Amino acid sequence: MNKLEQLRQRSQVVADTGDIEAIRRYRPHDATTNPSLLFKAAQLPQYREHIAASLAWAQNHSGDRAKLAAIKLAVAIGGEILQLVPGVVSTEVDARLSFDTRATIDYARRLIALYEQAGVERERVLIKVASTWEGIAAAGVLEREGIHCNLTLLFSFCQAVACAEAGVTLISPFVGRILDWHKANSGRDHYSPEEDPGVVSVRGIYQYYKSRDYPTIVMGASFRNTGEIEALAGCDRLTISPQLLQALEEDPTALAAGLETDVEREPRPARPLSEAEFRYQLNNDAMATEKLAEGIRNFVQDQERLESLLRQQIEGAAKDNAAANSQAF
């Protein structure tokens, strides 16, 4: 077996892409998207029909047409992905709402309503929310409503603890971005997989969850190389880019040992993490603070780029209609 086949025997493999062709090729169990991936997908010719349908739908609803079309497009692409994977698809809340609990809840409910209108059961969708205090609080409310959540942009232990205590379905700790920060700030350019700071972080979170019987799923994300993936073989789920899926598929050698899945049981904390404790611990972790802020900014930028692309099409269609009307007269 190649390494991808071996990995599938130990972890659920998730495709970190909105590219339908890549999903069809690698046959992941689940798929996850974000504004960056949707922006790239929106520029591919195979999505033109989805874009046109999303723009037409937005025209019949009040509000900013580009923002509405972006929501509808995310659901349309998610629905197409679900025809190819047996599991779930993750769809992201607008990152501009990362510090607004109520707005995050409303946005998530709207996404789920659109999926259900398209015939997709809510059990097949994970709502992606940034792991801010406000985002975690929103996820706790949504989970109690039967809307399952994927807490993303997770870089620190305190974020993981708060997510477990809120009862979220899944977390996505960002392995590669943690490594990026340490390389940039330590003056060190190489880490072995076993000492990779991102790998060490996810292993610690995994051990904490399993030893205390938290049901929250740990899904390693944002990998920079296959060594990181192998070091986390055995983790509940791993979301992997098409490029790294290909590298694993082309490697016929034995997969590395991975993480230790047999853990001793420990008692849960006597009380949940308070907001003040969460904010202090996050603030005290320079890497997590910087990467969380950077990640939100980058997702906002790509969300705005997607909306700008859709807005250009709206304006182009309006000009074409105006020209056609003037010719008719």
pLDDT tens across the length of the chain (329 residues): 999 999 999 999 999 988 888 999 999 999 988 888 888 888 888 888 999 999 999 999 999 999 999 999 999 999 999 999 999 999 999 999 999 999 999 999 999 999 999 999 999 999 999 999 999 999 999 999 999 999 999 999 999 999 999 999 999 999 999 999 999 999 899 999 999 999 999 999 999 999 999 999 999 999 999 999 999 999 999 999 999 999 999 999 999 999 998 999 999 999 999 999 999 999 999 999 999 999 999 999 999 999 999 999 888 766 666 566 666 65
Active-site residue 72, yes or no?
A: no
Q: Annotate 166-216 with DSSP letters as a single string.
A: HT-SEEEEBHHHHHHHHHHHHS-----TTT-HHHHHHHHHHHHHHHTT--P
Domain ranges of the chain: 3-263+279-312
* Catalytic entry in 128, 183, 210, 319: 128
Q: Which CATH architecture has domain 3-263+279-312?
A: Alpha-Beta Barrel (3.20)
Rounded distance, CA 209 to CA 231, Å? 18
Count each helix (H run) and each strand (E run) in the chain, helices first: 14, 8
Single pTM value for the model: 0.93
